[in-house]
Structure 1
């Protein structure tokens, strides 16, 4: 176990290397959430089940991932940030290997549940880790790197699964991803320094309950969470709606053409990397509100245009708005949570991905009740506007505005 916490002496000042070590796990671990999106018809055909049943291959992961986020953030207070992330990656590699070897749908669901649970050892813990390891002027940039990985995973996971399934079959999607997790485990175990927060300093059960009461009673954290629930809900929802009507007349795009439009959105995700410098200059709250305004404007514009080129460009603008505001929002949650940063961030991650699970549901409802290329985008714009209004009332500790 000692190798898991050994710190190479050169890496403590090499923050760029630490950022890279956190970016790639964020990219590949969260890809597991999205790899079943293009595989749902494949599972339905192979296991002779309905599409609705096959969709549980994604929902099972999401459900266990969301609840795992509530567990592993606080647990890392006791065991240490690095140890939880590294051991979680080892478990994820084994669970993903098992997923690639199954031959029945119930077994697939069981392993997807395990995957989701152990994948949650990274997201909330890595965000808390970044808040502890990086100095203040580098913190938002580091969180931006991790957030970029989270957002890019939505595209990478689908591209990875589509490409490998067509050439090697769906089992290879999981088997090769298990190998990637194994390599990532080695990289973090050998080169990632431990957090300055000492393992074993966890609160007692009584003080833990007090901590949760403090967080749940903090209205400024709940204002942040009210914004968080909108983000992936609208992100996933926008791409669900876009893919739905672009497949149909008059556009009739193929799966790969729609995937190309989604991939173009990665250009907008690069804005994660400028969020840190923007926060340093104008403040996290100003950047949060600017990102929301950009996302709202893009959603409104999407309801007005009719060309594929416009849909492609505006979807990237929307993603840019989300990419700008996510690091600033995570930074605000950590700052407001203060000494309860780990628990506050865990609850943030849970709410964020709970919103992601609501995205397809809201999209299907919106597609049923109104023009598919108008009403859904206006609904998402309205939800983000609620988030923008709530963001106006967020305050940092010790400040009046």
Structure 2
């Protein structure tokens, strides 16, 4: 597939549409975190049972991302984004009308499946529609949206339930998804993928090619540990701040988390960093910075110190994520869409494991121990790029992308 030139690059408003749509789609992952206790009281169940409202979405989101990432090769990136937003609008509206926990869990799983159509498609779209010099920058904007969603989703649902019934969290968001569907339909150019030729199952056979590309399989170690640490951090931080040391309310904790958005704004500048220092150096630096911020987080029970290190941690994650996606794209070449889909799958498997790991570690050794172990995972991940060689690319198109990066 020929690479787009600078002249043929999509107009600036396309970046805004992709950023906004990515933000609101991935926000759905974190939407119900502040609502778990509300659902437990409403449906008279335990908090662990109510937590399935989030887990059902996460598992469907992780598995569906792999499935639809493969299918976007067959049907096209823009078509999958449109289908995902349309289904999200419908399922999110239906969630607001449920009156039982089983239906809520089932519809959240369906919502997760619909949402999973978007992230791998938007990343593959960005890689294919933007010229090599702008590719890491647009991936940086999309990565910023993915990271900001972890805070924006929680803030949104918390603020809505302060004024309205919980159902309005989903009614309002449904309208937002449908408006965003229109923005995708009319606001971005169509991609050239999606021939829909040959066997329906043929694209799935290409998943195996991921494990034949040198360096690519071990790169996914970073994908898993990055979001295990990120979501584990959110889970641990919440318990730490609400505990006896700080005694903060749920709303106060959310505002502390919101400050972390400051660090996430480095992602759009990752392209310039990669151009100057190389993708592997930027990735290692981001992982190391995140490890330092997280490892020092619990050593001094001072709120200003904790907030400052939270910003250091999120800055590191925001540096590492777009660099990681760019690295996978370089290693994968002509199978980049499937490779990025598998990255998203591993990312959200890590997100699903994060709370489980955090709770286990807190029970085992407390908050400082948990922060240190999660930081240790990130520190170990910095070794992975050292074993990856960016040699000759599998295809000519891949070679052009690698040379420019």
Which TM-score band applies after superposition, normalised by the shorter structure?
over 0.9
**C-alpha distance in 1, partners of 2:145/2:136?**
14
Per-residue deviation, residues 149-184 of structure 1 (Å, max 9, x unmatched): 111001111011011112111100001000000000
**C-alpha distance in 2, partners of 1:208/1:299?**
38
Look up the match of 1:345: 340
Look up the match of 2:370: 376
CA-atom RMSD, angstroms? 1.7
Q: Secondary structure at the match of 1:259?
A: helix
C-alpha contact (below 8 Å) 1:96/1:177 kept by paired residues: yes
**C-alpha distance in 2, partners of 1:172/1:207?**
40
Look up the match of 1:85: 81
**C-alpha distance in 1, partners of 2:197/2:313?**
42
**C-alpha distance in 2, partners of 1:54/1:292?**
33
C-alpha displacement of 1:89: 0.6
Per mean C-alpha deviation after superposition, the further-off stretch among 300-309 and 270-279 is 300-309
C-alpha displacement of 1:91: 0.7
Summarize the Cα distance change of 1:14–1:75 in structure 2 as closer, same or farther, 3 Å threshold.
closer
C-alpha contact (below 8 Å) 2:284/2:385 kept by paired residues: yes
C-alpha displacement of 1:248: 1.2
Look up the match of 1:226: 221
C-alpha contact (below 8 Å) 1:77/1:202 kept by paired residues: no
C-alpha displacement of 1:263: 0.1
* The one of 191, 194, 201 aligned to 1:195: 191
**C-alpha distance in 2, partners of 1:271/1:356?**
21
2:33 matched to 1:42?
no
Look up the match of 1:7: none
Look up the match of 1:4: none
C-alpha contact (below 8 Å) 1:12/1:193 kept by paired residues: no
**C-alpha distance in 2, partners of 1:62/1:14?**
32
Summarize the Cα distance change of 1:139–1:356 in structure 2 as closer, same or farther, 3 Å threshold.
same
Q: Name the count of aligned residue pairs.
A: 388
* The one of 356, 363, 367 aligned to 1:361: 356
Look up the match of 1:55: 51
Look up the match of 2:170: 174
**C-alpha distance in 2, partners of 1:386/1:194?**
41
* The one of 318, 321, 324 aligned to 2:316: 321
C-alpha displacement of 1:382: 1.1
C-alpha displacement of 1:386: 1.8
Look up the match of 1:148: 144
C-alpha contact (below 8 Å) 2:76/2:192 kept by paired residues: no
C-alpha contact (below 8 Å) 1:275/1:324 kept by paired residues: yes
2:251 matched to 1:256?
yes
TM-score of the two chains, using structure 1 as the length reference: 0.93
C-alpha displacement of 1:203: 7.0
**C-alpha distance in 2, partners of 1:200/1:397?**
32
Q: Secondary structure at the match of 2:383?
A: helix
Per-residue deviation, residues 285-324 of structure 1 (Å, max 9, x unmatched): 1110110111111122213222011111101110000001
**C-alpha distance in 2, partners of 1:225/1:108?**
32
Look up the match of 1:334: 329
**C-alpha distance in 2, partners of 1:236/1:208?**
30
C-alpha contact (below 8 Å) 1:76/1:199 kept by paired residues: no
C-alpha contact (below 8 Å) 1:128/1:334 kept by paired residues: no
